Amino acid sequence: MFSKETYINRRAQLKKTVGNGLLLFLGNEESGMNYTDNTYRFRQDSSFLYYFGLSFVNLYAVIDIDEDKEIIFGNELTIDDIVWMGTEPTLSERASTVGITEVHPVSSLKKYLSQATAKGQQIHYLPSYRPEHQVKLFHLLGIAPGAEEPSIPMIRTIVDMRNHKTEEEIMEIDKACTVTAKMHIAAMKELRVGMKEYEVAAIIEATAKSNGCPLSFPTIATVCGQTLHNHIHTNVVKEGDMLLVDAGCETQMGYAGDMSSTIPAGKKFSSRQKEIYDIQVAAHINAVHALKPGVPFKDIHKLACRTIFEGLKGLGLTKNDPDEAVELGVHAMFFPCGLGHMMGLDVHDMENLGEVWVGYNGQPKSTMFGYKSLRLARSLEPGFVLTIEPGIYFIPELIDYWRAEHKFLDFINYDKLETYKDFTGLRNEEDYVITKDGARRLGNLYVPVYANEVEALR
């Protein structure tokens, strides 16, 4: 955990900016996989972690701005808890590590909130992303599931604070990115023709675990990289395949890394693979060079889209004006997702608070295919931490679908594209922090991006 002053100062800024009312934070609970006691890995809510640092079940926190109180609601361990799960410091001791002196049992929270409501205080809370949040809001405040009205001032203040990473947060993210880089380098060195994808996933995940880091999201290790989030690991990696790896870990404090790489199954990419790979690398490098404060990320996304369109034009897969094509969304045939997203305590940082606040600063998102999947569009500011992950994907179903609709016939050479239906897909992904005059790659280990660098590890 950070020092208690970090948490005290964060809460002070939150209180000052929201101004009045009562802020209610719901900690996360254990979640049963197939029965109650067989649980998924416990993961505390990230906003709870950000303001209260405590990663235990059955905690609630209240910042009563009007009464100038900060309270943790939780229960002391019972003898059964201790017998089965081991002992912990008392709740007061744990709360004091983050500068909170007032703790109460969970049973008293409902009364505290009803008294606040009776006094006319506004209760601010965040959007639910787990069913247990909805149950809690129903129990505590009588809000029916689906009828929640999360507090926009609370969301906007938290988003603004969490979007601007401090030096100590960036040091944590650097740690996550260094281990994440090790995960990718292990896969690059150890992948062999004939392995099952799950054997490579095991190497990747063992690297995270042996560095004391849980995963920040489920590992992608697939020879079917054209499926953007492919979590199947049962294919055999054959000569001529490419393995797309998208994997990352988080530190014990919860800060994430998120990287992707594409590895030839054999020693080298084929010449057809390398042509496409190099276009993707050009999009990646162009995007990285454009990172600096004041530049709208949407423009950098478009730069990557244009680089991909132009590169494919050189191969005869696309035609006509790249700028016009990108405005119309033609590139989405090959790159149907976004160039990157914010990253922090969540791998897609604060997606639970709403992309429109996190990545769009309240401006509306496009609904156009391709652009609608861009999670980050706003102008960049120092302290933003984000991913750069352009990719080129040949999705047979999308090719058939657009062709049948005669979509963008002036821009896509469908006859040529038919010959790429077996190509699959590729991407590379790195993590950057925006500095006062540019950007810095996160992690102190470089994962090869250029084809010759990847091949040198094979």
- Contacts of residues 321-330 at CB distance under 8 Å and 24 or more positions apart, as own/partner, are 324/411, 325/408, 325/411, 326/302, 328/408, 328/411, 329/368, 329/369, 329/370, 329/371, 330/408, 330/411, 330/412
Least distance in angstroms from the C-beta of 247 to ligand GLY: 8
Residue 447 contact partner, candidates ligand GLY, Mn ion, none, CB within 5 to 8 A by sort of partner: none
Least distance in angstroms from the C-beta of 229 to ligand GLY: 6
What ranges in 19-90 are assigned the alpha helix state H?
A: 46-52, 79-85
Least distance in angstroms from the C-beta of 338 to ligand GLY: 9
* Residue listed under structure tokens 């900016």: 17
Stretch that binds Mn ion, among 165-173, 253-261, 304-312, 418-426 (CB under 5 A): 253-261
Q: Which is nearer to ligand GLY, 23 or 201 (CB)?
A: 201
Q: Which is nearer to ligand GLY, 21 or 254 (CB)?
A: 254
Least distance in angstroms from the C-beta of 246 to ligand GLY: 5
8-state DSSP, 372: G
Q: Which is nearer to Mn ion, 256 or 412 (CB)?
A: 256
Report if residue 258 touches Mn ion, rule: CB under 5 A: yes
Q: What is the three-class DSSP state of 263?
A: strand
State the number of binding residues for ligand GLY (CB under 6 A): 4
Q: Which two tokens stand for residue 377?
A: 């569009």
Residue 2 contact partner, candidates ligand GLY, Mn ion, none, CB within 5 to 8 A by sort of partner: none
Pairwise CA distance, residues 318 & 335, whole Å? 13
Report if residue 47 touches Mn ion, rule: CB under 5 A: no
Q: How far is CA 281 from CA 137, 264, 381, 451, 453, in A?
A: 47, 15, 25, 8, 12
Q: Which residues pair with 425 in a beta bridge?
A: 393
Q: Segment 208-227, which members bind ligand GLY (CB under 6 A)?
A: 217
Q: Which is nearer to ligand GLY, 29 or 258 (CB)?
A: 258
Query: Which stretches does DSSP call E strand in 56-134?
Result: 60-64, 69-73, 102-104, 123-124
Q: Which residues pair with 441 in a beta bridge?
A: 432
Maximal C-alpha separation, the chain: 73
Rounded to 10 degrees, what is the CA torsion of 292, 286, 228, 319?
130
Residue 217 contact partner, candidates ligand GLY, Mn ion, none, CB within 5 to 8 A by sort of partner: ligand GLY
Q: Which two tokens stand for residue 438?
A: 């540019």
Q: Which is nearer to ligand GLY, 70 or 258 (CB)?
A: 258
Residue 318 contact partner, candidates Mn ion, ligand GLY, none, CB within 5 to 8 A by sort of partner: none
x/- mask, ligand GLY, residues 227-246, rule CB under 6 A, reads -------------------x
Stretch that binds Mn ion, among 125-133, 268-276, 380-388, 444-452 (CB under 5 A): 380-388
Q: Which residues pair with 242 in a beta bridge?
A: 264
Under 8 Å CB-to-CB from 18, ≥6 apart: which residues? 65, 124, 151, 153, 154, 157
Q: Which is nearer to ligand GLY, 241 or 246 (CB)?
A: 246
**Amino acid identity for residue 415 in this structure:** D
Least distance in angstroms from the C-beta of 420 to ligand GLY: 24
Q: Segment 337-356, which members bind ligand GLY (CB under 6 A)?
A: 347
Find the binder of ligand GLY among 258, 310, 349, 431 (CB under 6 A): 258
Least distance in angstroms from the C-beta of 46 to ligand GLY: 16
Report residue 261: phi and psi, to 5°. -150, 160
Find the binder of Mn ion among 157, 387, 424, 428 (CB under 5 A): 387
State the number of binding residues for Mn ion (CB under 5 A): 2
| Interface positions with ligand GLY (CB under 6 A) | 217, 246, 258, 347
| Interface positions with Mn ion (CB under 5 A) | 258, 387
